[in-house]
Structure 1
């Protein structure tokens, strides 16, 4: 496919998602996906300030399954692809990721807000603390797996993401294209 054909394809996405990555977006994603043509390339456009990373992972997994079944699927980031939006983008290979001019990506660490109230026998308090620590460590493992998926095939290495993510790493689409995180800007 030449560049003009690719631009024409990307200019008319079959799925358009905007807003928070949550259960409502996932339902809309599934509805639009079921109404989309079942053959030929598929373009999914998204604009999001973020949301639930587990919903984003589920959406990315749906994309992976379709790709493994032989479907060409393209990602089109528009305006902002922040946080959970980048998690969704990680489900697409670099060569199928595109952004519109002026768009940006935000990569950051997962957040937690949790109050732990210890109450009961001391040994049960240790178990409560261990459970909270296990949750945090598991979430870090998932986060790092997502960071690795985002940079796979690019010039950005995992350590750079780990270093910059704690401070909210905003990446302009032109820089993302130059560093190979996305295939191009349209």
Structure 2
């Protein structure tokens, strides 16, 4: 089969995702996600589709954690379908699904990058207290790196992409075409 042939017939469940998410990953998407998941009752697989240019990584982590809880506590199979663009926080959400439960539509792209931070530290007050403001910011940065690395490890688990390779390439935006994502094992297949 060539990459231009349709592979969708092999995965008929992906034709009608019960949960369809589009737009920025934010609290509104999370609310929509929870509502759609609640309405998608049943025993069969839960198919979740997403198209996003990114957004809030913590909302993505919350949605991924909900997917894990569904799997762990109900035993329900959960399937991921990335459509067109799965960037940044979208890839963080994708990491909540095992690699063998992930698909991309033909022509889709992943974009992976390190977490970003913009912050201003205002140092004002007695000199003996300024150290605590700096230490608190450093602790925030270190914790954010730990969270990022947990997500990176989950994303590459079961693939030929190593954690170190992802860390190196994610220092600037790494765009991955659907074919490469499949060939490297980040997703099971392309439809």
What interval of TM-score do these two structures reach, taking the shorter chain for normalisation? over 0.9
2: distance between equivalents of 1:169 and 1:141? Answer: 20
- 1:11 Cα deviation after fit: 1.1
Conservation of the 8 A alpha-carbon contact between 2:43 and 2:76? yes
Name the TM-score, length of structure 2 as normaliser: 0.94
1:24 equivalent in alignment to 2:40: no
- Aligned pair count reads 184
> Corresponding residue for 1:130?
135
Residue matched to 1:98 = 103
Could you say which residue in structure 2 is the equivalent of 1:153? 158
Q: Which runs of 5+ in 2 are unaligned?
A: 1-6
Q: Specify the SS of the correspondent of 2:49.
A: strand
State the shift of 1:88 in Å: 0.3
1:122 is displaced (CA, Å) by 1.0
In 1, distance between residues paired with 2:8 and 2:174?
32
The yes-or-no answer on 1:121 pairing with 2:126 is yes
- Give runs of aligned pairs for residues 58-97 of structure 1, distance below 5 A: 58-68=62-72, 69-97=74-102
Aligned to 1:168: 173
Query: How much does 1:138 deviate?
Result: 0.3
Counterpart of 1:10 in structure 2 is 14
Cα distance between partner residues in 1 of 2:40 and 2:9: 19
- TM-score computed with the length of structure 1 as normaliser: 0.96
RMSD: 1.1
1:123 Cα deviation from its structure 2 partner: 1.6
Secondary structure of 1:92's counterpart equals coil
